[in-house]
Structure 1
Amino acid sequence: MILVSISLVSISLFIYQVILNRIYSALFWYHYTFLITSFAIFGLGIGGIIAYNQRQKSEDLKTNSLVKALFLLSISYIFSLGIIYVLPFQNNVLIYLILATLPFIIGGYFFSTVFEQFGKISNKLYFADLIGSGFGSIIVLLSLNNLGVYRTVILICIISVIAWLILSAQFKKKMLLSIGVLAVFLLGLFIPNKYVYSIEQNFIGFITNKTKTLGSIAKSNQKAKIVYTKWNAFSRTDVIKVEGDNDEMIVTIDGTANAPMYRFDGKKSSLNKYKDDIEYLPFSFGNNHKTLIIGPGGGRDILYALAGNGKQITGVEINTSSIDAVRHFKEFNGDIYNRPEVKIYGEDGRNFVRKSKEKYDVIFLALVMTNASQNIGYALSENYLFTVEALEDYMNHLTDNGKLAFLAHDEEDMSKLIATILRQLNKKGIAIKDTPKYMAIFAKEVQLMDGNEHIHYPLIIVKNKPFSQLESKKLKETADRGKIIPLYIPYVNDKGPLYHIKQGHLTLVQFENGFSFSATPATDDKPYFYDFSKGVSPVLVFIFFFILLGSMILFTPIISQEKAFKPSLYFSSLGIGYMLIEIPLIQKFILYLGHPVLAFNYVLAGLLIGSGIGAYFSNAKVFNNLSNRIYLPALLVMVINIGLIFSLNSIFKVTSDFSLVSKILIAAILVMIQGFFMGMPFPRGIKILSENKKKSKTIPVMWGLNGVMSVIGSVLSIMLSMEFGFTIAMLAGALLYGLISLQNRNLVTAK
Structure 2
Amino acid sequence: MLLSIFFISVSLFVYQVVLTRLYSAVLSYHYVFLTTSFAILGLGIGSIIAYMIRKKGRKPIVKLGKRKVAVNQEDMKGQLNKGSIILAASYIIVFSLNYLLPFVNNMLIYIVLGTIPFLIGGYVYSILFTEFSGISGKLYFADLVGSGVGSVAVIFLLNNAGMFRTVLILSIIALLPALILPVSAKKIKAIGYVLPLILVVGLILPVQYINSIEKNFNGILNNSKKTYGKLIKAGLSPEIVFSEWNAFSRTDVIKIPQKPEDMILTIDGAANAPMYEFDGDVESLKKFEADSGFLPFTIGRNDKTLLIGPGGGRDVLYALARGSKEISAVEINTSSIDAVKAFGEYNGNIYNRPEVKVYGEDGRSFVQRSRDKYDLIFLSLVMTNTSQGMAYALSENYIYTVEAMKDYLNHLSDNGKIAFLAHDEDDLSKIVATAMQALNEKGIPLKDTPDYIALYSQLIQQQHGGVAMHDPVIIIKNKPFTEDESKGLLETAKKNKIAPLYAPLVQEQGPLQQIKEAKISLKDYVNGFKSNVTPATDNRPYFYNFGKGVPATLILILMVVAIGSIIMFTPFAIKSGNFKPTMYFSLLGIGFMMIETPLIQKFILYLGHPTLAFTFVLAALLVGSGIGGYLSNSRLFNRVIGAFYLPSAMVAVISIILLLFLGFIFEGTSGLNLTGRIIVASILVMLQGFFMGMPFPRGLKLIGESKKNVIVPVMWGVNGVTSVIGSVLSVILSMTIGFTGALIAGAVIYLIVSFFKSL
TM range (shorter): over 0.9
Which of 738, 744, 751 matches 1:731?
A: 744
Q: Deviations over 1:636-688 (max 9, x none)?
A: 00000110011111111111111000000100000000000000000000011
Q: Distance in 2 between matches of 1:83 and 1:294?
A: 37
Q: Counterpart of 2:288?
A: 274
Q: Distance in 2 between matches of 1:562 and 1:705?
A: 17
Q: Distance in 1 between matches of 2:425 and 2:511?
A: 13
Q: Distance in 1 between matches of 2:467 and 2:725?
A: 41
State the AA in 2 paired with 1:234: F
Q: Distance in 2 between matches of 1:148 and 1:519?
A: 38
8 Å CA contact 1:337, 1:343 repeated in 2? yes
Which runs of no fewer than 5 residues in structure 2 stay unpaired?
Answer: 61-68
Which of 719, 722, 743 matches 2:735?
A: 722
8 Å CA contact 2:81, 2:177 repeated in 1? no
Q: Distance in 1 between matches of 2:343 and 2:394?
A: 31
Q: Distance in 2 between matches of 1:132 and 1:720?
A: 29
Q: Counterpart of 1:75?
A: 89
Q: 1:527 to 1:627 in 2, by over 3 A?
A: closer
185-194 vs 96-105, which deviates more? 185-194
Which of 57, 70, 87 matches 1:61?
A: 70
Q: Secondary structure at the match of 2:274?
A: strand
Q: Distance in 1 between matches of 2:592 and 2:692?
A: 7
Q: Distance in 2 between matches of 1:379 and 1:742?
A: 32
The within-5 A match list for 1:265-304 is 265-304=279-318
Q: Distance in 1 between matches of 2:640 and 2:581?
A: 16
Q: Distance in 1 between matches of 2:689 and 2:185?
A: 33
* 2:30 is equivalent to residue 31 of structure 1: yes
State the AA in 1 paired with 2:357: K
Q: Counterpart of 1:141?
A: 155
State the AA in 2 paired with 1:239: V
* 2:2 is equivalent to residue 21 of structure 1: no
Q: Counterpart of 1:648?
A: 662
8 Å CA contact 1:379, 1:529 repeated in 2? no
Q: Counterpart of 2:66?
A: none
Q: Counterpart of 1:706?
A: 719
8 Å CA contact 1:476, 1:486 repeated in 2? yes
Q: Counterpart of 2:582?
A: 568
Q: 1:172 to 1:245 in 2, by over 3 A?
A: closer
* 2:444 is equivalent to residue 443 of structure 1: no
Q: Secondary structure at the match of 1:698?
A: helix
Q: Distance in 2 between matches of 1:65 and 1:47?
A: 15
Which of 605, 612, 625 matches 1:591?
A: 605
Q: Deviations over 1:97-136 (max 9, x none)?
A: 1110000110000001000000000000000000000000
State the AA in 2 paired with 1:547: V
Shift of 1:396: 0.4
Q: Secondary structure at the match of 1:275?
A: helix
8 Å CA contact 1:44, 1:108 repeated in 2? yes
* 2:241 is equivalent to residue 227 of structure 1: yes
Q: Secondary structure at the match of 2:618?
A: helix
Q: Counterpart of 2:64?
A: none
Q: Counterpart of 1:696?
A: 709
Q: Counterpart of 1:189?
A: 203
Q: Distance in 2 between matches of 1:627 and 1:252?
A: 57
Q: Secondary structure at the match of 2:244?
A: strand
Q: Number of residue pairs matched? A: 741
Q: Counterpart of 1:47?
A: 46
Q: Distance in 1 between matches of 2:184 and 2:507?
A: 80
Q: Distance in 2 between matches of 1:494 and 1:633?
A: 61
Q: Distance in 1 between matches of 2:350 and 2:436?
A: 35
Q: 1:400 to 1:688 in 2, by over 3 A?
A: same
* Percent of aligned pairs sharing the same letter: 55
* 2:323 is equivalent to residue 322 of structure 1: no
State the AA in 2 paired with 1:724: I
Shift of 1:448: 5.6
Q: Counterpart of 2:9?
A: 10
Q: Counterpart of 2:596?
A: 582
8 Å CA contact 2:81, 2:183 repeated in 1? no
Q: 1:562 to 1:149 in 2, by over 3 A?
A: farther
8 Å CA contact 2:242, 2:339 repeated in 1? yes
Q: Deviations over 1:386-431 (max 9, x none)?
A: 0000001001000111011001111111111000000111111111
* 2:495 is equivalent to residue 481 of structure 1: yes
* 2:112 is equivalent to residue 113 of structure 1: no
Which of 361, 367, 372 matches 2:375?
A: 361
Q: Distance in 2 between matches of 1:589 and 1:107?
A: 30
The within-5 A match list for 1:615-634 is 615-626=629-640, 628-634=642-648
Q: Secondary structure at the match of 1:460?
A: strand
Q: Distance in 2 between matches of 1:14 and 1:58?
A: 27
Q: Secondary structure at the match of 2:241?
A: strand
Q: Distance in 1 between matches of 2:108 and 2:129?
A: 31
State the AA in 2 paired with 1:720: L
Q: Secondary structure at the match of 2:636?
A: helix
Q: Deviations over 1:363-395 (max 9, x none)?
A: 100101159x99xxx974351000000001001
Q: Secondary structure at the match of 1:621?
A: coil
Q: Distance in 2 between matches of 1:661 and 1:167?
A: 37
Q: Secondary structure at the match of 2:180?
A: helix
The within-5 A match list for 1:526-605 is 526-561=540-575, 563-605=577-619
Q: Counterpart of 1:251?
A: 265
Q: Deviations over 1:680-707 (max 9, x none)?
A: 00000001111222x2100011011101
Q: Distance in 2 between matches of 1:379 and 1:643?
A: 26
8 Å CA contact 2:293, 2:471 repeated in 1? no
Q: Distance in 1 between matches of 2:521 and 2:640?
A: 59
Shift of 1:309: 1.3
8 Å CA contact 1:123, 1:616 repeated in 2? yes
Q: Deviations over 1:215-249 (max 9, x none)?
A: 11111111111000001000100000112211100
Q: Counterpart of 2:252?
A: 238
Q: Deviations over 1:488-546 (max 9, x none)?
A: 00122111111111111111111111111211100111110011122122111110010
Q: Counterpart of 1:205?
A: 219
Q: Counterpart of 1:158?
A: 172
* 2:471 is equivalent to residue 470 of structure 1: no
Q: Distance in 1 between matches of 2:373 and 2:184?
A: 64
The within-5 A match list for 1:340-419 is 340-369=354-383, 380-381=393-394, 383-419=397-433
Q: Distance in 2 between matches of 1:66 and 1:274?
A: 63
Q: Distance in 1 between matches of 2:231 and 2:195?
A: 42
Q: 1:202 to 1:74 in 2, by over 3 A?
A: same
8 Å CA contact 1:379, 1:528 repeated in 2? no
State the AA in 2 paired with 1:57: R
285-294 vs 165-174, which deviates more? 165-174
8 Å CA contact 1:379, 1:532 repeated in 2? no
Q: 1:666 to 1:603 in 2, by over 3 A?
A: same
Q: Secondary structure at the match of 1:158?
A: helix
Shift of 1:177: 2.3
8 Å CA contact 1:276, 1:478 repeated in 2? no
State the AA in 1 paired with 2:720: G
Q: 1:440 to 1:626 in 2, by over 3 A?
A: closer
8 Å CA contact 1:379, 1:531 repeated in 2? no
Shift of 1:184: 1.6
